[in-house]
Structure 1
Amino acid sequence: MKYISNNCRLYYIISPQKIGMGIYLSSPKTEKFSEDDENNKLRYGLSSMQGWRATMEDAHAAHPDLDASTSFFGVYDGHGGKVVAKFCAKYLHQQVLKSEAYSAGDIGTSVEKAFFRMDEMMRGQRGWRELAALGDKINKFTGMLEGLIWSPKGGDGNNQVDDWAFEEGPHSDFSGPTSGCTACVAIVRNNQLVVANAGDSRCVISRKGQAYNLSRDHKPDLEAEKERILKAGGFIHAGRINGSLNLARAIGDMEFKQNKYLPADKQIVTANPDVNHVELCDDDDFIVLACDGIWDCMSSQQLVDFIHEQLKKESKLSVVCERVLDRCLAPSTIGGEGCDNMTMILVQFKKPIRSCSFADEQSSQTISANTESSREEKRI
């Protein structure tokens, strides 16, 4: 008997020979989904690749014109299945827009509420139906085909009544998916950048060529995460919550959120994001959002350096992203690193944003002194 890690969860396999049939393919899928777009304030490129994994469980969202003054970008890394990541890619930015806090100009509060709202929306009949529509032909929750008779509603625009909790049906008591996903999103409005993160996907900014982490990787061994996990009745074994999940925060994973006496931010696993506010200036070159398939292979500074080198000879940002994916792809599955799904969004700011002030220099010095990450990466 042997332990094998399937993305974020731990499974048993009978023998090493079964790796190629289950977790990894015999050869990687290197076809990429890529796109580029821009507006008058920024341009972006993105690329995603399945790689060695048997399925593609990453998802992403890129909306350069979320509204007249705001851009939204997000990466979602699924574990135990793809449906939660796809659900977030479809709905999370919509919930940011619908929030009263957003209408009042409070982007940070609106995105925090949207993370929690994903868990709420995935419960009950409509949550079950939407997940079934986004999933495989045989619905993973019952193992039957009955979910296919429920067709997804068209549109789901912002002007529709938010009646998720009131739809009736045979799965009205559905408590939510046991699979989950990380979420790392960046919202740009004028010279303001708001980054929200739950899990180990990561957002990094290049400021004068120096990499600064705008998010923290939420691993169970972080002191604050460990304290919450233990207080909620969980345990940590071999770096994994209850011996299973190697993330301390995620959307979905409802099996870890069943304590009725605790609020959502105090559960064993929580969707509660860290929210970081950054004031952009002309020293800021670009931001990168990527799932851990990238960060397992390159440090934040290594990736920023690689991007700068590529930008000297390539103007199309999606091509730069594709080269990062090719650079990270492992030649074989022996080592494990470079074998995950990979998704990356590169956002470049059009100058000038605003001139950098003395306060920005002080901010950079403060950032440089803040090295909480276990890899000693610099963080804003």
Structure 2
Amino acid sequence: MEGNKVVIDNVGGSRENFSSADGRPPIPNSIGGGSAFQRYGMPASLTKSVVRHHSLGMTRCTDIPIEPRLNEDGCDAEYIPLLRSGAWADMGSRSCMENVYVCADNFMRDYGLNSPTRRPSAFYGVFDGHGGKHAADFACYHLPRLIAEDENFPHEIDKVISSAFLQTDTAFAEACSLNADLASGTTALATVVIGSSLVVANDGDCRAVLCRRGKAVEMSRDHKPVCLKERRRIEASGGYVYDGYLNGQLNVARALGDWHMEGLKRQNGGPLSAEPELLSTKLTEHDEFLIIGCDGLWDVFMSQNAIDFARRRLQEHNDPMMCSKDLVDEALKRRSGDKLSVVVVCFQEQPPPNLIVPRGRVQRSVSAEGLKELQSFLDSLKC
């Protein structure tokens, strides 16, 4: 894994980028706005030890089934991905940048853990702040550390990640009680790779999409108040949906922070949930890359459309950072009106191969790409 690096984007400018091929920078404490993270601090009650959150029993981790790959002896053989990553951010037409991302291609080493094996480990996250950047900064800095410091990591990965989300939210509530100027919120999407296992945890409307042999596999679900599942949960928690907004205030159903918004959160639960939804899968040689993006990207890209676009770019230059920039630039051309942050993680050393699509007997007027986009649109209506 030579050349890996951990990067935290905590700058206030309009653009920020990185590629994991550029060498390894300092540890996260000293990157970019490390001191800015430090000034929020972790409340004293959570710095002594990492304790699993009391509501963890509600969390479920859903697997996307795949067929196991067998070695010559007929036993399961674990596929080991080669991780390469890149990211790009742009605040677009907004007056300030509230998004933050973190990329650690070697999570265990970069966060001071001893790995008993040579299996790859990585952490990637995108945090889309609203009402200020403080919640996004806080989560970006503390969430991966809480995961790394849990004594059950990486053996009980789904429970560890869920607990880290809830602990981060609780800690930020305490930080806001000490300093009201921190009041803000953020959506959060975290991806952890351990060996061939890919786990995605999502709070809000950031999205992760896996490219599996050219096909888009959504690894997260957008948490919008209008979705039936979220609406039922909101109403059961004493909230309501008005004009597509949670309690008429927020256009997401799950987020970290927002403790200052009346009627959305309580210590024992509330309409606005901080509990992440998890999806996991085993990576195989058919898995090419993963796109993680905030909602500004998905406002103008459907999942399959983004995969097709990124796949063509990776075939041209095979550079995840340039691919991230290509996606951001294209989103701006398509008039995305939101802040943009994109992370692209490649699982192969080589660019995506050309796929041969069998020619059908009956001619059609819609292209294969168009049919994929139509299917993605129809699938999105099922939420």
Q: 1:372 to 1:76 in 2, by over 3 A?
A: farther
The answer on 1:323 being equivalent to 2:326 is yes
Provide the C-alpha distance between the structure 1 equivalents of 2:143 and 2:375, rounded to a whole number of angstroms: 28
Structure 1 partner of 2:306:
303
The answer on 1:33 being equivalent to 2:33 is no
Provide the C-alpha distance between the structure 2 equivalents of 1:78 and 1:372, rounded to a whole number of angstroms: 31
Indicate conservation of the 8 Å contact 1:36/1:45, yes or no: yes
The answer on 1:206 being equivalent to 2:257 is no
1:108-155 Cα offsets, whole Å, 9 max, x none, are: 11110111011111133x5566xx6xxxxxxxx35xxxxxxxxxxxxx
Stretch moving more, 93-102 or 73-82: 93-102
Provide the C-alpha distance between the structure 2 equivalents of 1:304 and 1:45, rounded to a whole number of angstroms: 16
Structure 1 partner of 2:220:
215
1:348-371 Cα offsets, whole Å, 9 max, x none, are: 01369xxxxxxxxxxxxxxxxxx9
Provide the C-alpha distance between the structure 2 equivalents of 1:66 and 1:325, rounded to a whole number of angstroms: 26
Indicate conservation of the 8 Å contact 1:52/1:340, yes or no: yes
Provide the C-alpha distance between the structure 2 equivalents of 1:191 and 1:70, rounded to a whole number of angstroms: 9
Q: Which amino acid aligns with 2:142?
A: Y
Provide the C-alpha distance between the structure 2 equivalents of 1:95 and 1:117, rounded to a whole number of angstroms: 8
Q: Which amino acid aligns with 1:320?
A: C
Structure 2 partner of 1:111:
161
Q: 1:44 to 1:378 in 2, by over 3 A?
A: farther
Using the aligned pairs only, state the percent identity.
30
Structure 1 partner of 2:343:
345
1:326-352 Cα offsets, whole Å, 9 max, x none, are: 111157xxxxx5121000000001369
Provide the C-alpha distance between the structure 1 equivalents of 2:229 and 2:349, rounded to a whole number of angstroms: 39
Q: Which amino acid aligns with 2:211?
A: S
Q: Please, what TM-score do these two structures have when normalized by structure 1?
A: 0.68
Provide the C-alpha distance between the structure 1 equivalents of 2:144 and 2:172, rounded to a whole number of angstroms: 15
Stretch moving more, 207-216 or 115-124: 115-124
Indicate conservation of the 8 Å contact 1:185/1:289, yes or no: no
Alpha-carbon shift at residue 377 of structure 1 (Å):
4.9
The answer on 1:293 being equivalent to 2:296 is yes
Alpha-carbon shift at residue 100 of structure 1 (Å):
2.8
Unaligned runs of 5+ in 2: 1-11, 24-80, 109-114, 351-373
Q: Which amino acid aligns with 2:95?
A: A
Q: Which amino acid aligns with 2:144?
A: H
Alpha-carbon shift at residue 82 of structure 1 (Å):
1.1
Greater share of residues in strand: 1
Indicate conservation of the 8 Å contact 2:92/2:338, yes or no: yes
Indicate conservation of the 8 Å contact 1:42/1:349, yes or no: yes
Q: Which amino acid aligns with 2:99?
A: D
Alpha-carbon shift at residue 88 of structure 1 (Å):
1.0
Unaligned runs of 5+ in 1: 1-28, 133-140, 143-176, 332-336, 353-370
**What is the number of residues matched between the two proteins?**
278
Alpha-carbon shift at residue 239 of structure 1 (Å):
0.4
1:39-81 Cα offsets, whole Å, 9 max, x none, are: 9831001000111001101111101111144100000111111
Matched ranges for 1:40-119 at <5 A:
41-67=82-108, 68=115, 69-102=120-153, 105-119=155-169
Indicate conservation of the 8 Å contact 2:303/2:376, yes or no: no
- Secondary structure, aligned partner of 1:311: helix
Q: 1:330 to 1:244 in 2, by over 3 A?
A: farther
1:84-109 Cα offsets, whole Å, 9 max, x none, are: 11111111100111123315x11111
Q: Which amino acid aligns with 2:135?
A: V
Provide the C-alpha distance between the structure 1 equivalents of 2:317 and 2:349, rounded to a whole number of angstroms: 19
Structure 1 partner of 2:315:
312
Indicate conservation of the 8 Å contact 2:304/2:376, yes or no: no
Structure 2 partner of 1:252:
257
Alpha-carbon shift at residue 229 of structure 1 (Å):
1.2
Matched ranges for 1:80-159 at <5 A:
80-102=131-153, 105-124=155-174, 126=175, 141=180
Alpha-carbon shift at residue 226 of structure 1 (Å):
1.0
Provide the C-alpha distance between the structure 1 equivalents of 2:86 and 2:163, rounded to a whole number of angstroms: 27
Alpha-carbon shift at residue 188 of structure 1 (Å):
0.5
Q: Which amino acid aligns with 1:321?
A: S
Indicate conservation of the 8 Å contact 1:205/1:211, yes or no: yes
Indicate conservation of the 8 Å contact 2:216/2:303, yes or no: yes
- Secondary structure, aligned partner of 1:328: helix
Which 4+ runs in 1 deviate beyond 6 A?
Answer: 371-374
Stretch moving more, 87-96 or 40-49: 40-49
Indicate conservation of the 8 Å contact 1:212/1:377, yes or no: no
Provide the C-alpha distance between the structure 1 equivalents of 2:173 and 2:187, rounded to a whole number of angstroms: 18
Indicate conservation of the 8 Å contact 2:162/2:276, yes or no: yes
Provide the C-alpha distance between the structure 2 equivalents of 1:180 and 1:293, rounded to a whole number of angstroms: 17
Structure 2 partner of 1:6:
none
Indicate conservation of the 8 Å contact 1:202/1:291, yes or no: yes
